[in-house]
């Protein structure tokens, strides 16, 4: 009987210590630690590695750009699954990747666009339009406007000389 009594006494003591200590020392991860865990999870996938996160009292706010809506939805699942995250504020926006015109139709379109410009040659390779030769500044502006409208990967004018 004495043994049981002392055991009860110890238990009661332990409860008292725990309950008084609890407010000062919560057994849940700190915001900074949660942030680190989320960042590590997002970094592991190239589709989400560019995103940034901020955690305040367990609420995780994710910002940045992804390529489509499915990745955007995955972000909420991944972040929501991290220990200590109470809720997720998904501020991630969807930006579809740039669509580049394939070389064959691009070559045709470049031929149309450059038809009336003399003194230059334009070739297409891997989506890049290479312009070489010499053009007046005003004509080059007109041509560059037209070429940019053909959705190339880039317009390379390293071989172009501009005359006044």
> What is Dmax (Cα atoms) for the chain?
110
Residue 60: phi and psi, rounded to 5, are: -95, 125
Question: Is the Cβ of residue 85 or residue 109 nearer to another protein in the bound state?
Answer: 109
CA distance 65 to 56: 21
- Rg of the chain over CA atoms, in angstroms? 31
By the rule CB under 8 A, 125 interacts with another protein: no
What is the closest distance, in whole angstroms, from the C-beta atom of residue 46 to another protein in the complex? Answer: 14
By the rule CB under 8 A, 39 interacts with another protein: no
10 Å CB burial of residue 127 (0-12, 13-18, 19+) is middle
By the rule CB under 8 A, 149 interacts with another protein: yes
Among 92, 106, 120, 152, binds another protein (CB under 8 A): 152
By the rule CB under 8 A, 98 interacts with another protein: yes
By the rule CB under 8 A, 97 interacts with another protein: yes
Piece in contact with another protein (CB under 8 A), picked from 6-14, 33-41, 54-62, 105-113: 105-113
By the rule CB under 8 A, 71 interacts with another protein: no
Is residue 88 within 8 Å of residue 63, measured between CB atoms? no
By the rule CB under 8 A, 113 interacts with another protein: yes
CA distance 39 to 60: 11
Question: Is the Cβ of residue 4 or residue 158 nearer to another protein in the bound state?
Answer: 158
């Amino acid at each position: 009987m004495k043994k049981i009594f002392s055991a009860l006494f110890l238990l009661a003591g332990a409860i008292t210590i725990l309950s008084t200590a609890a407010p000062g020392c919560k057994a849940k991860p700190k915001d900074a630690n949660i942030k680190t865990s989320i960042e590590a999870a997002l970094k592991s996938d190239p589709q989400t590695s560019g995103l940034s996160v901020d955690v305040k009292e367990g609420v995780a706010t994710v910002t940045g750009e992804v390529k489509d809506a499915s990745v955007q939805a995955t972000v909420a699942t991944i972040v929501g699954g991290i220990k200590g995250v109470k809720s997720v504020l998904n501020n991630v926006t969807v930006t579809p990747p740039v669509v580049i015109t394939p070389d064959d139709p691009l070559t045709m379109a470049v031929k149309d666009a450059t038809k009336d410009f003399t003194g230059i040659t334009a070739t297409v390779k891997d989506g890049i339009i290479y312009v070489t030769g010499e053009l007046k500044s005003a004509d080059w502006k007109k041509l560059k406007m037209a070429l940019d409208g053909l959705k190339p990967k880039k317009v390379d004018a390293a071989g172009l000389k501009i005359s006044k």
